[in-house]
Amino acid sequence: EPEVTQTPSHQVTQMGQEVILRCVPISNHLYFYWYRQILGQKVEFLVSFYNNEISEKSEIFDDQFSVERPDGSNFTLKIRSTKLEDSAMYFCASSETPQGTGYEQYFGPGTRLTVT
Amino acid sequence: AQKVTQAQTEISVVEKEDVTLDCVYETRDTTYYLFWYKQPPSGELVFLIRRNSFDEQNEISGRYSWNFQKSTSSFNFTITASQVVDSAVYFCALSEAAGGSYIPTFGRGTSLIVHP
């Protein structure tokens, strides 16, 4: 069964450093998403991406965040200058369409980011 | 604005007991989707079910069943004859069709602990 993959599974970085979290969505999916889950808290939407541009973003997704689809398979989330409060699990998801029967978002296993 | 409330923070049961996880939602939209996800200790998010607002039929899948009641804005999840492997955090989520967004809002989750 096709699945979303994410690398690395765990990333440790120092405050102020840049990190890039990588995701490979399901191959025939067109819509891509990043979510964040601070430890013990709820899952929060960050950004959605379609047709090589951001279609929607939340208040969390400020100027230090960016997303990119550098090639036909990868979807990346970059945090330019990490802060302690960026420590969280980051989930990538993809879907065929954003609505109707194709709406189901398939989530990756997550990348745990620890900022020290 | 959409909102999802999972009032039960943690539920502890003994194996083979039935358990119901509550989810109450708020939305002004008439078209919306409701979801349940399971997050086992390994951290990934596992899709369990999607329901659209026009389909109030209850659903059963093995030991899992869902009770969708628009009159009380609830979408409760019952596990029959619980097993240790059911131990996880369960998230209820809501996405509205307004503006074509469909970005889900997650509840805070209910941690289910099933003791042998």
Model confidence pLDDT, tens digit, residues A41-65: 889 999 999 989 998 899 999 999 9
CA angle B21, B23, B29 (to 5 degrees): 160
Interface test with B, best of A5, A60, A99, A113 (most B CBs within 10 A): A99
Amino acid in the structure at residue B26? E
Interface test with A, best of B25, B45, B54, B106 (most A CBs within 10 A): B45
Please give the interface size between A and B, counted as residue pairs whose CB atoms are below 8 Å apart.
Answer: 49
Task: For the beta carbon of residue A14, count every other beta carbon within 10 angstroms.
Answer: 8
Amino acid in the structure at residue B31? T
pLDDT in tens, B103-115: 788 999 999 999 9
Q: Kindly list the distances between the CA atom of residue A84 and the CA atoms of A45, A89, A96, A110, B8, in Å, as whole numbers in the listed order.
A: 19, 13, 34, 18, 29
Supply A38's token pair: 């601070």
Calculate mean pLDDT across residues A78-89.
Answer: 97
Nearest Cβ partner for B33 among A41, A103, A106 = A103
Do A105 and B33 count as a contact with CB atoms less than 8 A apart?
A: no
User: What pLDDT score was predicted for residue B103?
Assistant: 79
User: What pLDDT score was predicted for residue B4?
Assistant: 96
pLDDT in tens, A2-39: 789 999 999 999 999 999 999 999 998 989 999 999 98
Closest approach of A38 to chain B, Cα-based (Å): 11
DSSP state of B54: T
Cβ proximity of A33 and A92 under 8 Å: yes
Closest approach of B14 to chain A, Cα-based (Å): 23
